[in-house]
Amino acid sequence: MPLSSLEKKLKIRIMLTLFVCMFATTIYQSIVSIAGPSIIADLGGFEYYAWLFSGFSLTSAVCAPFVGKLTKIYGPKKIMIPALIIFLFSTILCGLSNSMFLLIFFRSIQGLGLAGVLGVVWIMIALLWSPIERGKWLGATAAGFTLAGLIGPFLGAYITQIFGWRFAFFAIIPVIIFSIILISKVLPNIERNISTKFDYLGAIFFTIFASSFLFALSIISLEITKIYLYISILFLISFISFGIFLNIEIKAKEEGFIDITLFKHKYFSGGMIGNLIIPMQFVVYSIFVPLSLIGVYGFSPAKTSIILIINAITVAIGANVFGYLISKVKLQVWIALFGFSVNGFCTFLFGFTDLNINFISLLVLVSIQGFAIPGAFQVFMVCIQNNLPQEKIEIVTSSLQFARVFGISLSGSILGGILIISMTDYNFEKPRSEIYDPDNITSTEKIEEIKQKYIVSKQIYFFEEDLNLSRQNLMKGLKIVYYSAAITSILGIICSVYIFYDASRRQLLEEDSIRSE
């Protein structure tokens, strides 16, 4: 029995269960955003800061296409429960990590779990509801994101300040366990689809391609002997494996790991590009804005959390407003254009002002950005789903999720590299060299410790000047990050016009024709 034919009461129970799962897994992004500077101060490794997010996104991206195919074969329940269990154990291990490399590794395992959870959520929305209702329910899922956006920064700030960053990971573990219990009781069992085959060979070469390509991008900014040789080898591996993967998929056609025949549709090919671009702004406000406020201006984690909370509220408002509006075809192109152009302008202002504006103005700026972000996201998810073959909805949805998560990893890697490359290296003796280490200026405790060393070494007269110069150096790198991210919005605008303008214009002409009759 198709899920769309279930009773409405059961559908709503399933949706509420999915909201809980989304909350339990997405809250860690905002927790790590706030706790990130404290993690750096404790474990070190500023040059790997973006990896806390890009490593997580890398594994999510690699696994996203698996979710669509496996869900079609085994059903949502048999994918969601293992995904939540993986997420649970990796979260515990994140909190127990004693080095930045271990934390990045376990965050990457967390990404595997998240890919399964979010992939099933988007697929379930498409399977449960008709094309007209999907936009509204996709907007309603913002409840899970909003709650995570409200509580995550609060937990990240106050638990980090009182108990330390490790306890911020442990706080939500009971909710993850509760999610596993709910899924096991509420989600219906679906018979295995034996007619759908899994392309194992294609999956292997896709994994090699995606992981080697993203890893190569992630290490570009590292100062390691023979780093460019390693990068060249990784890119070579990725290009060869991509060629083999493409050859396998062309032969397999609809039975392939990724249905290559979907790319003949403008909506699918354009939708994949659009979903690669959308995450750039998400990466900016979730990773680099907190770094600016804490590292450059000395905001406390608690004060910084207010910014992310306000952003989460306005994201929810925008998601619900645009969820209702996108059912009108003539508005789709304008909603997408609004989302990309407003986000690009706000990100440009982040760089233009260096975020050196009063707190109220900053709240207004992130509110406008938060409201606009769902415009592009909603159009490039629901409208793409509705214009492609419905029997391939699982594959379409997981492919769009892959593009989106791949975009997060790509954005984190590129923008993180831009930040490191754009900053000036200063060579001073200790203790002055310590204040120029970005690891240290993200923590007020570290700054105070270094100040005492200045006093002991009788160099206190340099302290304020060195601290200000170090913060200006970080802001210089962040300014270039913001400008770079803003430029990508132009690509999103072009993509929106390419996909949606003709359909919007066609409906307007049809309405004019009806009125003239």
Rounded to the nearest angstrom, the gap between the alpha carbon of residue 75 and the centroid of all alpha carbons in its chain is: 25
Residue 108 CB contacts under 8 Å (≥ 6 apart), including other chains: 55, 56, 58, 59
Collapsing DSSP states into helix, strand and coil, what is residue 33?
helix
pLDDT of residue 260: 78
Task: Say how far apart CA 436 and CA 427 lie, in whole Å.
Answer: 9
> Which tokens sit at 205?
């070469």
Give alpha helix (H) positions in 163-283: 165-170, 173-186, 200-218, 227-252, 266-277, 279-283
Residue 231 placed within a domain:
no
Whole-angstrom Cα distance, residue 241 to residue 247?
Answer: 10
Judge whether 452 lies within some domain: no
Q: Residue 250: how many CB atoms within 10 A of its CB?
A: 11
Taking the C-alpha atoms of residue 430 and residue 75, their distance in angstroms, rounded to an integer, is: 59
What is d(CA 477, CA 138) in angstroms, rounded to the nearest whole number? 36
Q: What distance in Å separates the CA atoms of residue 485 and residue 292, rounded to the nearest whole number?
A: 15
Q: Which residue has the tokens 């965050």?
A: 107
The answer to whether 90 and 105 have CB atoms below 8 angstroms apart is no
Q: How far is CA 259 from CA 23, 285, 393, 450, in A?
A: 31, 33, 11, 57
Q: Are 213 and 406 in contact (CB under 8 A)?
A: no
Residue 247 lies in a domain: no
Residue 262: half-sphere exposure toward Cβ, Cα within 13 Å:
29
Q: What is the DSSP letter of 17?
A: H
Cβ(65)–Cβ(420) below 8 Å = no
What's the helix, strand, coil split of the chain in %, to 5? Answer: 85, 0, 15
Q: Which of 188, 267, 179 shows the shortest CA–CA distance to 501?
A: 267
Cβ contact 208:238 at 8 Å: yes
Domain with residue 47: its CATH number is 1.20.1250.20
Residue 453 within any structural domain of the chain: no
Size (the chain), residues:
517
pLDDT of 358 reads 85
Residue 442, both tokens:
């993200």
Domain range spanning residue 25? 3-198+257-425+470-516
| Alpha carbon distance 99, 40 (integer Å) | 10
Beta-carbon neighbour count of residue 121 at 10 Å? 25
* Domain-embedded: residue 442: no
Domain annotation covers residue 204:
no
Whether 309 maps to a domain, the answer reads yes
What totals of helices (H) and strands (E) does the chain contain, helices first?
21, 0
Cβ contacts of 172 within 8 Å, gap of 6 or more: 24, 27, 28, 31, 91, 155
DSSP-derived secondary structure for 496-511 = HHHHHHHHHHHHHHHH
CA distances 121 to 25, 114, 436, Å, are: 12, 10, 44
* DSSP 8-state code for residue 187: S
**Within 10 A of 4 (CB to CB), how many other CB atoms are there?**
13
Number of domains observed in the structure of the chain:
1
Q: Tell whether 447 is covered by a domain.
A: no
Q: How far apart are CA 427 and CA 394, in angstroms?
A: 54
Cβ–Cβ under 8 Å, residues 233 and 227: no
Q: How far apart are CA 495 and CA 331, in angstroms?
A: 16
Nearest alpha-carbon partner for 398 in 176, 142, 239, 203 = 203
> Residue 182's closest CA among 86, 26, 83, 77?
77
243 touches 69 (CB < 8 A): no
Tens digit of each residue's pLDDT, the chain (517 residues): 566 677 888 888 888 888 888 888 888 777 777 777 778 778 877 767 767 776 777 787 778 777 877 887 888 888 899 999 999 999 999 888 888 888 888 988 898 898 888 888 888 888 888 777 777 777 677 666 666 767 777 777 778 878 888 888 888 889 899 999 999 988 887 776 666 677 778 878 887 887 788 777 766 656 666 777 888 888 899 899 989 988 888 887 766 677 778 888 888 888 888 888 888 877 787 778 888 888 788 787 778 878 878 887 888 788 888 877 887 778 888 899 999 999 999 999 988 888 788 888 888 998 998 899 888 888 888 888 888 887 777 778 878 878 887 787 778 778 877 887 888 777 777 878 888 877 777 777 778 888 888 888 888 888 888 888 888 888 888 899 999 989 989 999 998 888 887 766 665 545 445 455 5
Rounded to an integer, what distance in angstroms lies between the CA atom of residue 299 and that of residue 357? 13
Enter the tokens of residue 88.
């649970």
What is the rounded CA–CA span in Å between residue 153 and residue 289?
13
Q: Are 393 and 268 in contact (CB under 8 A)?
A: no
> Which amino acid, one-letter code, is at 352?
F
